[in-house]
Chain A
Amino acid sequence: MLIDIICIGLMSLGLFFFFATTIGILRLPDFYSRMQAAGKGDTLSSMLVLTGLAVYNLHHWSFGTLLVSVKIMFILVFIFMASPTASHHIIEAGYDAGVKPWTKGEEKNEQEGKEN
Chain B
Amino acid sequence: MTFLYTFIIMLAFWILLSGKFDIFHLTLGVISCLLVAHFSRDLIFTDKTKKGRLPEAFRFIAYIPWLLWQIVLSNLSVAYYALHPRMMREIDPQIYWFKTYLKKDIALVTLGNSITLTPGTITVRIVDDEFYVHTLHPKFTSLIKDKMEGKIARIFGEAEK
Binding site for B on A (CB under 8 A): 16-17, 20-21, 23-24, 27-30, 32-33, 35-37, 39-41, 43-45, 47, 64, 67, 70-71, 74, 81, 84-85, 87-88, 91-92, 95, 101-104, 108
17 A-B residue pairs with Cβ-Cβ distance under 8 Å, sorted by A, are A16-B79, A20-B79, A23-B82, A23-B83, A28-B81, A28-B82, A33-B93, A36-B136, A37-B81, A40-B78, A81-B113, A84-B113, A88-B116, A88-B122, A91-B123, A101-B134, A103-B94
Smallest CB–CB gap between B128 and chain A, Å? 15
Which single residue of chain A is at the shortest CB-CB distance from B121?
A36
Q: A84 to chain B: which residues have CB within 8 Å?
A: 112-113, 116-117, 123
Across chains A and B, the number of contacting residue pairs, with CB separation under 8 Å, is: 109
Q: B87 to chain A: which residues have CB within 8 Å?
A: 27-28
Do the beta carbons of B132 and A102 come within 8 Å of each other? no
Do the beta carbons of B71 and A43 come within 8 Å of each other? yes
Do the beta carbons of A36 and B112 come within 8 Å of each other? no
**Chain B residues numbered 51-69 whose CB sits less than 8 Å from any CB in chain A:** none
Q: A47 to chain B: which residues have CB within 8 Å?
A: 71
Which single residue of chain B is at the shortest CB-CB distance from A29?
B88
Do the beta carbons of B82 and A20 come within 8 Å of each other? yes
Q: B78 to chain A: which residues have CB within 8 Å?
A: 20-21, 24, 36-37, 40-41
* Option from B75, B83, B112, B124 in Cβ contact (under 8 Å) with A95: B124
**Nearest 10 pairs of A and B residues by beta carbon:** A24-B82, A20-B79, A84-B116, A44-B75, A84-B113, A32-B134, A23-B82, A67-B19, A104-B92, A40-B74
What does DSSP make chain A's interface, helix, strand, loop or mixed? helix
Q: A71 to chain B: which residues have CB within 8 Å?
A: 16-17
Known A32-B134, A43-B71; 11 more pairs at CB < 8 Å: A16-B79, A23-B83, A28-B91, A37-B82, A40-B116, A40-B117, A40-B122, A71-B16, A88-B113, A88-B116, A101-B94
* Option from B71, B83, B91, B123 in Cβ contact (under 8 Å) with A40: B71
Q: A44 to chain B: which residues have CB within 8 Å?
A: 71-72, 74-75
Do the beta carbons of A32 and B122 come within 8 Å of each other? yes
CB-CB contacts of B69-101 with A at 8 A, as 1s and 0s?
001101100110111000110011111000000
Q: B120 to chain A: which residues have CB within 8 Å?
A: 36
* B125 lies within 8 A of chain A by Cβ: yes
